[in-house]
């Protein structure tokens, strides 16, 4: 809904749902039908009751349905999270059901590994090409000295290569290679050979085209199927799909594949809590079966297998990255609008905005962790 199309918000019905929701928002700086750019404007009389009944799932779905609009969803999300409404926005029944399901089932089993690829990454390369920068990096950029999204993504790739201490002729494994951004960069600038794996057919197809002529192999494969020996291993933005029941096998696989004296760089979004939980809207519409690891999860799963050399947190950079993606998405949506529904457009705008708000509130983190296997020398990580 553009500013020219916006209509006046409705007068909220004076009922119990409205009073309860208003009380929950008190002190957050967010007001229903308020005048601030982060205040949601409500267009459906059942909005309040839906939010109280469905929590964050209802908030996201009602936005997709056009029940409300907000100029700065990112700031709204940040303020709500800082006010402590994050976990409270998930109905207790949903939290209990997810914990039971995650406890009884391996939601990220080998048989289910390709679900997220089909649901999200295979949505359409044309969409992601317009949202991302020319590197096609779909992970946090490194904004320390960068001014543009492209500069930030190139800086992230260069930082990863430096942390891995790449040398010509090395064999590198990229677990979760996406559209081949790291594989292309490392092969082109560091003269290494790269094997990249992804669970997305669309990603694999485009990655092969982007890496044509370089010593890069792109495979449609699950990490649990890998064999071989590699001097360096990197995993950028994939560990979020591994799941807590598979952390041990993931690190065991890395340890088995990594050569003596080798380095492994893990780049992942991180949770402040070790409690196994998931946002129901993100789980249903964006990253099915995704689970964010905590620092404890990573430390415990890697203990006895790999030596942790460095832990780098630049979570606030994801806020800037997501906002840059949203700006690209908004600027280029008209080029592909005839291929996608308005519901998809609102889904992506909401997803990018609320995630930016979560990083701004420091509710989520972004970690780069470097591990070694049998390394004797001192390790000094670049920044």
Backbone phi, psi, residue 309, to 5°: -100, -30
Q: CB neighbours (10 Å) of residue 383?
A: 11
How many residues are listed for the chain in this entry?
383
- 259: exposed, middle or buried (Cβ count in 10 Å: 0-12, 13-18, 19+): middle
∠ Cα 57 58 60 (to 5°):
70
Token code pair at residue 296: 């404890």
Query: Which string of DSSP letters, residue by residue, matches 102-127?
Result: HHHS-TT-GGGTTHHIIIIITS-HHH
Across 237-326, the runs of DSSP E, i.e. the strands, are 258-271, 307-313
What is the distance between the alpha carbons of residues 176 and 178, in angstroms, rounded to a whole number? Answer: 6
Sign of the dihedral through C-alpha 328, 333, 334, 339: positive
Q: CB neighbours (10 Å) of residue 296?
A: 11
Catalytic residues: 355
Closest CA to 164 of 298, 258, 297, 303: 258
Element (H, E) at 369: strand 364-372
Token code pair at residue 224: 């649990």
Closest CA to 246 of 197, 297, 299: 297
Token code pair at residue 237: 């933005």
Element (H, E) at 217: strand 216-220
What b/e readout covers 268-282, taking b as 16+ CB neighbours within 10 angstroms? bbbbeeeebbbbbbb
């Amino acid at each position: 809904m553009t500013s020219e199309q916006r209509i006046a918000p409705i007068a909220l019905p004076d009922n119990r749902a409205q009073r309860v929701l208003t009380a929950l928002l008190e002190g957050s700086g967010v007001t229903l039908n308020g005048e601030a750019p982060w205040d949601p404007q409500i267009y459906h009389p059942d909005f309040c009751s839906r939010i109280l009944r469905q929590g964050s799932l209802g908030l996201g779905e009602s936005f997709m349905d056009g029940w409300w609009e907000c100029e700065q969803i990112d700031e709204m999300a940040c303020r709500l999270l800082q006010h402590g409404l994050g976990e409270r926005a998930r109905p207790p029944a949903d939290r209990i059901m997810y914990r039971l399901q995650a406890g009884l089932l391996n939601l990220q089993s080998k048989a289910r590994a390709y679900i997220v690829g089909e649901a999200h990454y295979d949505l359409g390369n044309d969409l992601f090409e317009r949202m991302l920068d020319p590197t096609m990096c779909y992970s946090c950029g490194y904004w320390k000295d960068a001014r543009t999204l492209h500069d930030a993504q190139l800086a992230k790739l260069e930082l990863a290569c430096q942390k891995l201490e790449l040398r010509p002729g090395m064999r590198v494994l990229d677990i979760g290679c996406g559209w081949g951004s790291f594989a292309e960069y490392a092969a082109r600038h560091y003269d290494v050979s790269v094997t990249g794996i992804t669970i997305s057919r669309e990603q694999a197809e485009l990655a092969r085209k982007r890496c044509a002529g370089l010593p890069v192999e792109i495979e449609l494969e699950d990490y649990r199927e890998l064999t071989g020996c590699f001097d360096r291993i990197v995993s950028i933005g994939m560990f979020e799909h591994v799941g807590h029941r598979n952390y041990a096998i993931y690190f065991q696989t890395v340890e088995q594949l990594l050569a003596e004296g080798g380095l492994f760089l893990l780049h992942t979004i991180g949770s402040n809590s070790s409690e196994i939980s998931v946002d129901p809207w993100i789980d249903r519409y964006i990253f099915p079966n995704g689970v964010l690891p905590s620092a404890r999860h990573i430390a415990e799963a890697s203990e006895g297998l790999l030596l942790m050399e460095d832990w780098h947190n630049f979570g606030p950079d994801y806020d800037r990255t997501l906002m840059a993606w949203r700006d690209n998405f908004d600027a280029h949506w008209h080029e592909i609008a005839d291929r996608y529904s308005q519901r998809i457009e609102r889904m992506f705008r909401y997803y990018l905005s609320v995630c930016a708000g979560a990083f701004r509130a420091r509710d989520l983190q972004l970690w780069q962790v470097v591990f070694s296997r049998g390394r004797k020398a001192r390790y000094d990580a670049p920044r």
